[in-house]
Each structure stands twice: as C-alpha cells, then as structure tokens.
Amino acid sequence: MQFTILASGSKGNCTYLEIGQNIYLIDLGISLRQVQSRLEIVHKTLTHLEGVFITHEHTDHVSGLVSVVKKFKPRVYMTEGTYKNLPKMILTGLDPNLIELINFDQILMPDGFTVRPFMTYHDALEPCGYKFTEAGKSLVYMTDSGYYPQKHFDIIRNADAYIVESNHEPEMLLESDRPWLLKKRILDDQGHLSNEDSAFLLINVIGINTKTIILAHLSEECNTPEMALSVYRRVFEEQGLIYDDYKILYAMQDYPLQEVIL
C-alpha cells in the first residue's frame, strides 16, 4: 500500500491510494486537470483507477467527482446521506450504476484488501472516515471532524499511518477577520479539529505499528505548518512520547505530498 496527498485544505481535497495494481482516490475536491498535473509530479497516473471513496458532500471534497467518473468509470463509495445531499449538479451528473452506498462499520472487501468506513463528526449529513487494511498494514483517513469519541478509539487504534485533520490554532482563528458564525462553526464539535485536539486524539490511538502521521486540512488563514508541528511536538513530549520516533508530515493545498509506502 502506498499513497500521496494531492491536495488538502478548504480549496480542495484529494488523496491517491495505490494497492497492488489498482488505484483509488479518497475525495475529489479538485478538477481532473489538477489531479492529473499533480500526479505527473509524483510520476503516477489514473490508468487503473478502480474506485473513489468520498467522506462527505461538501464542495471541497466532491467538486471534481463528475469529470473523473465520466472519464474513468470507477466505483464511487459513499454513505446514503452523503449521496442524497450532494450538490444538485454533481448528483445529476453521476451514473447511479457506479454508486455503492456504504454503512458505518461495514467491512468492504474490494480486490484483496479491506475498508472500514467509520462515523465522523462534521456539519454534513452522514460524514465518514476510512480505515484501509492490506497485507497487515493499515491507513486511517480522517479529516473534517470536530471531535472523535473515546468509545470509538478501538476502530482507529494502532494504524501504521494516519492522515488526520489538524485544521487551526484557536487563537489565530478567534483573532481572524472571519465572521463570528464561521468561527463558531469551526470550533464546534461538528466543525474541525484544532492542532491540540488533533495531537491529543493521536496520542490516544497510536500504537507500536504507528510510524507515519500526516497533518491534513490545515487552514491557510488560521494555521501554519510550523505551528501545527510545534503543537504536536509539545503535546507528545508533555505526554511522555518521543516526537522524533514518528515521521510527522503535513499535507499542502497546492502541491502533492511525497509518496508514503507502507
């Protein structure tokens, strides 16, 4: 299993996942042209695109879906709530025969690996994250979630790699020029994880298998990569973990991340 994040942030999200000979995408919030140009940078293509996993219906996660599906005809996995709440232009542009509706905690088994969708907490109709497992290696993908409850920690515990939201620094958000209702939405339990909340979540679920943590969906106005990494270092060290034992990276909005191989 190997992957690279092509785009991450409020302007669009898309992750490329390669398992065996098959290609999958997680979210499609950038155009087909952007997907292909960023894949060229990392020497990849969509030639064997088998499926697209959608987390929720917000535009920054689905705006490029129709063009990719029309060209490559992959299966599209999403919850029923996400499907019904897609923007009208996207919903009407999709072939219903290519849609596979999924349930939380249903174990999917496409092409020799497993995918477990799990509930996330965001202001969408039925959002989810995904845990991918193949040949004993696992990747947890969870962005756009205001919190994650302790009772569900076992679902995402001890993955080899995590792509997890680290959206904002609360003080930067509160001092920004954003409208108060938007600030409140982001800080809400169905909004976005702050740097500190993200770090505390991870220290409660990482295990002996965990080697790589990728901070995703960083706000361009209310966060910086340096701030996110600094908060992670502080929280890890305060909780007795050795920060440098983990490869902690950050995903970018406009440029693909280096490839990660599990």
What is the token pair recorded at 210? 């965990």
Inter-residue contact 192 to 120 (CB < 8 Å)? no
Summarize the confidence of residues 242-252 as an average pLDDT.
97
Inter-residue contact 64 to 54 (CB < 8 Å)? no
The reported pTM is: 0.95
**Residue whose structure tokens are 């361009």:** 220
151-197 pLDDT per residue, tens: 999 999 999 999 999 998 888 778 778 877 777 767 776 678 999 99
158: left (phi over 0), alpha (psi -120 to 50) or beta: left
Summarize the confidence of residues 60-67 as an average pLDDT.
97
Closest to 59 measured CA to CA, from 14, 1, 108:
14
Q: Which amino acid is at 5?
A: I
Domains of the chain: 2-261 (3.60.15.10)
